[in-house]
Amino acid sequence: MGVRKKNNQIRFQKRLIAKAKRNIKKLKRAAKAKTSGQKLHELMHEKKA
């Protein structure tokens, strides 16, 4: 196996792990109740159709 292929595989694995960690954090944040500051932020920045 070439060095470049090996390095690319390692990078790919790291990216997968990082993505999974981000998704877990996102789910944890979504599960928590929103603070009053977050509610205000959403109210002010929500998309108006």
pLDDT tens for each residue of 1-49: 799 999 999 999 999 999 999 999 999 988 888 889 989 998 998 876 6
- What is the spatial distance between Cα 27 and Cα 45, in angstroms, rounded to a whole number? 21
Handedness of CA 33, 37, 40, 45 (dihedral sign): negative
pLDDT digits (tens, 9 = 90+) for 8-18: 999 999 999 99
Q: What global pTM score does this model have?
A: 0.56
